[in-house]
Amino acid sequence: MTLTPGKQRGLDTLATDSGVFAVLAIDHRESLKAVLGDHLSDAEITDFKLDLIRGAASAGSGVMLEAVYSLPHTIDAGALPGSCGFMAALESQGYVGDPWAGPTTWMDGFTAADAKAWGASVAKVLLPYSPDRPDHAKQQEAVVAEVVETCRQLDLALLVEPVAFGMANEDRTRIVVETTKRLAGSGIDILKCEFPGNPDDPGGWADACAAVDAETNVPWVLLSSGVTFDMYRAQLEVAFANGCSGFTGGRAIWAELARAPAADRQQIIADVVRPRMEDLSALAEATAKPWRSVS
């Protein structure tokens, strides 16, 4: 794995001192409104994110943000410690309704150049993707090629998050491994993977994670896909033992907070969310593969 100095520095600032990723994912937009309720104003959604970032981000190495509700708000508020890096989402919304309607498009008014100017460690693109949809996959591969070139010119590290919405459990290993094979060599710098193991077959998890690791020469991290915290932790234990370089966890870590009244947030963050971040960060530090060790 050979990276330019700017990309190396970006990954370093997103990682812990030992080089693993312990990232709080809070770049949700449409999906978060669906959980919090459409009655909330943009300012109230921003307040939710700022409370979460202030209370839990420093227990990890970085956060995932977006330009609608959390950038530049987080920076202006001084909510993110200087020791934490951040990823900035580039994709527009719309995939919640029909993720296969067309290729990924870009957010209005915020570009990879803006992410670089605002101090992002890494640019991030969520990519509906399945090798079982060859025409759509070809469109998405062109999207990846475009953003890879843009980030190359900016010397900005790029994470791609392929998600095969609606895939069956029995197809999971095949789809995630094949997706890794197709995208890991496309010029991206880090891959955010769905868990490749069939939830109904824990005995096959290690082999599934090892198969993902064998198909990539870039670091890979695990998203949480809305599973329970206990399930996510169990998945991470297996993934870390098989070459995974960290986590980017969302609702598995903070789902209870999204369902609680605003008056209860601080207590839930202190009692539930932050301890979970501390636990997963310690697990990553002890067992995940440092990104600089990936080759």
DSSP string for residues in 203-258? GGHHHHHHHHHHT-SS-EEEE-TT--HHHHHHHHHHHHTTT--EEEE-HHHHHHHH
Q: What is the average per-residue pLDDT within 98-122?
A: 95
Q: What confidence score (pLDDT) does residue 218 get?
A: 97
Q: Is residue 294 one of the residues assigned to a domain? A: no
Q: State the pLDDT confidence band at 73, using cuts at 50, 70 and 90.
A: very high
Q: Is residue 170 one of the residues assigned to a domain? A: yes
Q: What is the average per-residue pLDDT within 241-270?
A: 95
Q: What confidence score (pLDDT) does residue 96 get?
A: 62
Q: What confidence score (pLDDT) does residue 35 get?
A: 73
Cβ neighbors of 181 (< 8 A, separation 6 or more) are 215
Cα 264 to Cα 258: distance, rounded to the nearest angstrom: 10
Q: State the pLDDT confidence band at 95, using cuts at 50, 70 and 90.
A: low
Cα 35 to Cα 47: distance, rounded to the nearest angstrom: 15
- How far from 210 is each of 195, 197, 242, CA to CA, in Å? 12, 10, 5
| More confident position, 32 or 27 | 27
Sign of the C-alpha dihedral computed for residues 110, 116, 122 and 128 taken in this order: positive
At 276, is the secondary structure helix, strand, or coil? helix
Cβ neighbors of 207 (< 8 A, separation 6 or more) are none
CATH number at residue 181: 3.20.20.70
Q: What is the average per-residue pLDDT within 168-184?
A: 97
Q: Is residue 141 one of the residues assigned to a domain? A: yes
Q: Is residue 124 one of the residues assigned to a domain? A: yes
Residue 160: CB atoms within 10 A of its CB come to 28
Q: What confidence score (pLDDT) does residue 98 get?
A: 86
Cα 213 to Cα 233: distance, rounded to the nearest angstrom: 19
Q: What confidence score (pLDDT) does residue 189 get?
A: 98
Q: Is residue 295 one of the residues assigned to a domain? A: no
Q: Which domain holds residue 271?
A: 5-289
Angle, alpha carbons 12-181-3 (nearest 5°) = 30
What percent of the chain has a predicted confidence (pLDDT) above 70?
99
Q: What confidence score (pLDDT) does residue 231 get?
A: 97
Residue 16 has pLDDT above 80, yes or no: yes
Q: What is the average per-residue pLDDT within 148-170?
A: 97
Residue 1 has pLDDT above 70, yes or no: no
- Structural domain tally of the chain? 1
Q: What is the average per-residue pLDDT within 118-143?
A: 97
Sign of the C-alpha dihedral computed for residues 148, 151, 153 and 156 taken in this order: negative
At 193, is the secondary structure helix, strand, or coil? strand
Q: What is the average per-residue pLDDT within 244-270?
A: 95
Q: What confidence score (pLDDT) does residue 94 get?
A: 61
Cβ neighbors of 24 (< 8 A, separation 6 or more) are 52, 53, 56, 57, 59, 60, 62, 63, 64, 248, 249, 250, 253, 254, 277
Q: What is the average per-residue pLDDT within 282-288?
A: 98
Which alpha helices (H) appear in the chain, and where do they start and end?
A: 5-14, 30-36, 42-56, 73-77, 112-117, 134-154, 172-183, 205-214, 229-240, 251-258, 265-268, 274-287
Residue 225 has pLDDT above 80, yes or no: yes
Q: Is residue 143 one of the residues assigned to a domain? A: yes
> In whole angstroms, what separates CA 73 from the centre of its chain?
20
Q: Under a CB-based contact definition with an 8 Å cutoff, are residues 73 and 46 in contact?
A: yes
Is the bond preceding residue 72 a cis peptide, omega within 30 degrees? yes
Q: What confidence score (pLDDT) does residue 271 get?
A: 98
Q: What is the average per-residue pLDDT within 194-222?
A: 97
Q: What is the average per-residue pLDDT within 99-122?
A: 96
Q: Is residue 278 one of the residues assigned to a domain? A: yes
The whole-chain average pLDDT of the chain stands at: 95
Q: What is the average per-residue pLDDT within 26-51?
A: 85
In this structure, the dihedral spanned by the alpha carbons of residues 108, 112, 116 and 120, taken in order and rounded to 10 degrees, is 80
Q: What is the average per-residue pLDDT within 27-53?
A: 85
Q: Is residue 203 one of the residues assigned to a domain? A: yes
Cα 199 to Cα 201: distance, rounded to the nearest angstrom: 6
